[in-house]
Amino acid sequence: MYTGEYMSRIRDIDIIEVGDISKGENSSPWSSTIIVLRLTTSDGVVGYGEAPTTLMTKPVMEEAREIARILKGKDPTDIERNSLEVYKHSFYMPESMETTSAFSAFEIASWDIMGKIYGMPVYKMLGGMLNESIQGYANGWYSDCVSADSFAKKAKEVSKAGFKAMKFDPFGNAYDVIDKKHIEHAADVVGAVKDATKGADVLIECHGRFNANAAISIARALEGLKPAFIEEPVHPDNIVGLKRLRDTTNIPIALGERVMNKNLFLPYLVDDLIDILQPDITNARGILEGKKIASMAESFGAEVAFHNAFGPIQTAATLNIDVTIPNFFMQESFEHFWPDWKKKVVKSGYKLEDGAYTISGKPGLGIEINERILEEYKVDGMEPFNPDEPPWVVKGTWKAAK
């Protein structure tokens, strides 16, 4: 408990790759490993952070070691100062996801430490509780789904688990361009999921893989099915193409998992290209930047649905922001579809029941880490690679429409 001026410094930095490379993930190959950061202060306070991997595990690990050289010995509670210090030394930080991902783990762990020092949860330090229950939307549920019937069957199971919204990619192996058969198949899948779930919100995942003409054709075909949003409908660097799509559809547009700070989000808001922002606090500089992005979105009347596709430390950190923001939309949730090792990384700290999250309210991130799992599942290597299926798709869905 904080009793006076805090003079402790970052003493020990442990960067741990955790996963099961031999078996991978149940549904999301990009998340077969996670990077856990454990910071220990000179007076023994321990904080945890997490960095994403997504076919960049080794580069992120190396960047974390570089950031450790910058931040070791620094006061972990000086979060804004430490962020600027890393920015100063890391020449490519604004555009390097490896650097921002590594730094995000340090930033999240620093909030965990600060909360433990002051004896309060992170959300209290961000303005306090506003949203006591956080509605989740299911993702990762549709592994090996190809036909409309297979999507509908699994969607029913997701709905029975309490989720009132679910996200999925119905486009098979279409990439950049899309033909009539794939568009018709996607519409059949979306319609089948809506019918099977009797009113659940459907969220359409495009994985940022289409050119503008393809995205426009997709939106025209799906608009009558009233999806709650369409995510990353065009390649992430095709801003002009996104504007062309925006001018032709009324479907709300969501994006942001590859946008790495508030400054890079600003043009999307100024040009009215986006309805729902999806920053990922494990690659967009952490909790404070996530809160700033949400506040900026609020000024433009936009909502926030944080991207959350990796591990439980990320989830706990994200929930601590979710509960504080007035423009919260929904929270992405993979928990039900994780492998067992990942479910056990965090012993306690938040609950997911009937498709909604609640958090513990304990100091810091509010979680208890299972150190035995960190040790038992410690690995050294890159995520599995499958030349026949891109790593960003849900497993078993990269198939041609029939």
Other beta carbons within 10 Å of 28: 23
Here the tokens at position 218 are 């997709």
- 307 belongs to the catalytic site: yes
Q: Is the pLDDT of residue 128 over 90?
A: yes
pLDDT digits (tens, 9 = 90+) for 196-250: 999 899 999 999 999 999 999 999 999 999 999 999 999 999 999 999 999 999 9
Q: Which of 311, 296, 329 is nearest to 36 (CA)?
A: 311
Catalytic pick from 182, 185, 207, 235? 207
Here the tokens at position 190 are 């979306």
Q: For 127-146, what is the mean pLDDT?
A: 97
In the chain, the domains with their CATH numbers are 10-121 (3.30.390.10), 124-368 (3.20.20.120)
Q: Using 50, 70 and 90 to split pLDDT, how confident is the model at 88?
A: very high
What kind and span of H or E run contains 166?
Answer: strand 165-168
DSSP letter string, 174-212: -BBB--HHHHHHHHHHHHHHHHHHTS-EEEEE-TT-B-H
According to DSSP, residue 301 is labeled T
Tokens 């500089």, located at residue? 285
Q: For 58-66, what is the mean pLDDT?
A: 95
Give the three-state DSSP class for 161.
Answer: coil
Q: For 122-135, what is the mean pLDDT?
A: 97
Q: Using 50, 70 and 90 to split pLDDT, how confident is the model at 30?
A: confident
How much is the CA Rg of the chain, to the nearest whole Å?
20
Tokens 């210090």, located at residue? 85
Q: What are phi and psi of 268, to 5 degrees?
A: -65, -35
Residues, the chain, total?
402
Catalytic pick from 182, 185, 235, 307? 307
- 207 belongs to the catalytic site: yes
Q: How far from the centroid of its chain's Cα atoms is residue 92's Cα?
A: 22
